[in-house]
A and B are shown apart, each in its own frame.
Chain A
């Protein structure tokens, strides 16, 4: 298979204007099959707009192909293979657990009822429970159970675990990785809880002010970026190498370098792979305003 064939999402010159404000400014990116991509950016960076464009929920300019289809014109067909949780707590109040399962089973050709019931069994949800009577976390659990039972080729998760407690969050990502994900599937996640997803991501995309500022696989990130706990005597020398960012922890300077020579850096102090969160903060600060 060629790479082009492998691409699940291809965006070229993706642009979206809200009045005179540009939410997306000629964005280009490609997401391949079998990847788990973290789309990370501050509020108002164009993250949600990108997801909406992919899901055909908003008009836009430029070219965007999702599973070989144009989300603007072929949305209904696309939804057979794409699933999303666009936001938390959007299930209607009157919906019962068993009705929700019946309904999705009725309209979705790729829904596996047994699977949904299996996930529901792991929660405190009962078939006759209405969304109205559920806690915020339970609504999310129901929604996730429905979505995880759909054998979609592309799953888009926008802040999927907001409102869930830590136990269920861990459980969810574990289920996602073990039961759901395989080489034919692609997952795009946005979240503010970067620490919780970084170990399952295969790719990173940083977005700021409607532009992609970093798009790389986790392996590439590991090769490119290095964090050094600089010993006090080497601070001046390290600063001369123009670090991306610098912070101080317990009196020690920690500097983040992009593409610097590791053997040289090793002389300054202990080397570490930066966390995605630190990388994110550094990248955002590093952008010219």
Chain B
């Protein structure tokens, strides 16, 4: 357990720039743009006269007020959606390099001179991708969501309507971040096949890891399509591509599970007010599909291959 902590720390030292700073910079850029859009004066022409919005005082009361508070409390965490999407890229490229970089710079010989097993090492990298990185990104995303919520509240208050009191007593305000955090286990299961595949390729390829990792599934998919269309084989290439090849590459994208199988049609009926709650429910419901767990099993098998490769492979 202590060794695992140090291995995770080690990964953080190495990938601080990618796993912490990249999402932080994206979040900062989006926040800056959003704040700029919120607070910079935009002059509005009203009946031929220029009116600065700062002068407009609007008092929102009654049902509209309740609805605004409700929508804000429910969905403010969705403001960080672009940051969460960055997670997919981060995890993808982290995994590609995780077992390859140490071989390329030969530092694997140093790591192997310490009493740390290959299994623990590979597991630490998988945990980094499946748990630690999502937590970091969620932390940054939630901080950004709160900042933007605060900005929206201040903006509305400047125009005469103070919503903070009601917002703070709305339970949803506190439940929404928990719902986002509760997606980590779902992410774990659905991203496992992709993380397993990428780490396995990372442990095997001598060079050009990206080409191998992407080329094999894409090439195989195209071959199947060709066999089906041009040669008339009785195979459902589309099914194989969406159930096998896509999951080797796209599983690390947060929410990939929402467009999988029976849930694919669901977004049409998504209620606007409780979007986050809806996503939360649909996400956990996605785990009821056997495909989720079959993929996770395949992911674990590929991790086992990566461990074996790291142990048996000769360096230098």
Contact = CB atoms under 8 A, between A and B. Distances in A.
Interface of A: 48, 52, 55, 57-59, 75-77, 79-80, 83-87, 90-96, 99, 102-104, 106-109, 143, 147
Nearest to B101: A92
A59 B6 contact: no
B116 A76 contact: yes
Given A58-B314, A59-B314, A91-B110, 9 more contacts: A48-B316, A57-B109, A79-B112, A80-B115, A86-B113, A87-B316, A106-B6, A107-B3, A107-B6
B110 A79 contact: no
A94 B13 contact: yes
Of the listed residues B7, B14, B115, B116, the one surrounded by the most CB atoms of chain A closer than 10 A to its CB is B115
B2 A106 contact: yes
Nearest to B111: A92
B109 A90 contact: yes
A79 B114 contact: yes
A103 B115 contact: no
A87 B188 CA distance: 38
A261 B230 CA distance: 87
A58 B112 CA distance: 12
Contact of B114 (A85, A95, A104): A104
Interface string B1-19: 0110111011001100000
B106 A76 contact: no
Contacts, number: 75
Interface string B97-129: 000001001111110111111000000000000
B314 A92 contact: no
Given A106-B3, A107-B3, A92 B110 contact: yes
A211 B275 CA distance: 72
A103 B314 contact: no
A59 B13 contact: no
A59 B312 contact: yes
Given A80-B115, A85-B113, A103-B6, A94 B14 contact: yes
Contacts of B2: 106-107
A104 B110 CA distance: 11
B315 interface: yes
A79 B115 contact: yes
Nearest to A18: B314
Interface string B277-316: 0000000000000000000000000000000000110111
Contacts of B316: 48, 52, 86-87
Contacts of B6: 102-103, 106-107
A107 B105 contact: no
Contacts of B13: 94-96, 99
